Amino acid sequence: MNDTIRLHWFWSTNPQKVRLALEELQLPYELNKIDLYKREHKTAEYLAIHPRGRVPALEIDGGVLWDSNAAIAHLAQREGRLWPPGGADRCRALSLLFLESSAFQDLAGVFYFNRVVMKQIGKEPDETRMSKAHAKLLPLFELLSQHIGDGDYLLDDFSLVDCAFAPWLPWLDLDEHPALTRWRDALRGRDSWSACRVLEPGMDPDA
């Protein structure tokens, strides 16, 4: 079995989740950039790795994980670190991980698309669409704030669940949600954030 861990990656949000998790676990890995603007995700070579032609794809343990949160869950099970060992805390972790993929991601993606992708292609953001998405995010913001409480992370300590939400946070309007801004700032201060150069407003992704 090939022991090399290889992340097929772009600077967009979902690949960044997995890269953050790898950095937090301090696992050695190879990084293969798949440039979406050059349609490298649609080449026959890449489609043989990810049949849907998306990023990320994580090659690990002789298999391939096509979904960012599936990759995070696999890493959590594989390493047994930065993840609750069981019981109610593990139930919380899994619920939050799937909340990100089932509800949070689509709404947060409206902001990322309008504030990042639209700028990259020379178009103006759709403020009306972002306003509607923000209104739908408010109940999720409240739920996440309740989980954070007076702490800095979703669970009592940092966990891989935080990686699933982290790359979205710089693009959302969080000023009215102090627990979420505290969470975002705590994540920004971690070594993994700097190592991955998580994309933020004002950054050139290709610099």
Asked if the bond preceding 56 is cis, omega within 30° of 0, the reply is yes
Distance of CA 144 to the CA centre of its chain: 15
Q: Check residue 171 and report its DSSP letter.
A: G
Residue 204 resides in a domain: no
Q: Are 183 and 148 in contact (CB under 8 A)?
A: yes
Count the Cβ atoms, other than its own, within 10 Å of residue 135: 10
Residue 107 pLDDT grade (very low, low, confident, very high; cuts 50, 70, 90) = very high
CATH of the domain at 66: 3.40.30.10
pLDDT for 2: 60
Q: Tell whether 200 is covered by a domain.
A: no
Same domain, 105 and 186: yes
Q: Please state the pTM of the whole predicted model.
A: 0.95
Question: Do residue 159 and residue 181 come from a single domain?
Answer: yes
183 and 91 in a common domain: yes
Stretch 175-198: mean pLDDT: 97
48 and 143 part of one domain: no
- Residue 62 domain flag: yes
54's CB contacts (< 8 A; 6+ apart) are 41, 66
Confidence of residue 185 (pLDDT cuts 50, 70, 90): very high
pLDDT of residue 16: 97
Q: Are residues 95 and 71 in the same domain?
A: no
**Tens digit of each residue's pLDDT (9 = 90 or more) over 22-80:** 999 999 999 999 999 899 999 999 999 999 999 999 999 999 999 999 999 999 999 99
Residues above pLDDT 90, as percent of the chain? 93
Q: How far, in Å, CA of 98 to CA of 78, rounded? A: 18
For residue 14, the model assigns a pLDDT of: 97
pLDDT at 1: 45
Residue 44 lies in a domain: yes
Domain span holding position 28: 6-79
Contacts 24+ apart (CB under 8 A), 133-136: 133/107, 133/108, 134/172, 134/173, 136/107
Which carries the bigger pLDDT value, residue 204 or residue 206? 204
Same domain, 95 and 50: no
Please check whether residues 72 and 106 belong to one and the same domain.
no
Question: What are the tens digits of pLDDT across the range 80-97?
Answer: 999 999 999 999 999 999
Rounded Cα gap, residues 147 and 161, in angstroms = 12
Round to whole Å and give the CA distance between 159 and 90: 11
pLDDT score at 205: 78
Per DSSP, the three-state class of 200 is: coil
Tell me the CATH number at 164: 1.20.1050.10
pLDDT tens by residue, 9-24: 999 999 999 999 999 9
| 165 is a domain residue | yes
Say how many domains are in the chain: 2
Are 91 and 186 part of one and the same domain? yes
H helical segments located in the chain: 13-25, 44-47, 68-79, 87-99, 105-112, 118-120, 127-148, 160-165, 178-188, 191-196
Average pLDDT, the chain: 96
Query: Residues with Cβ < 8 Å from 118, sequence gap 6 or more?
Result: 124, 125, 126
Residue 64 to residues 56, 67, 85, 108, 147, Cα–Cα distance (Å): 10, 9, 25, 26, 32
pLDDT given for residue 204 in this prediction: 82
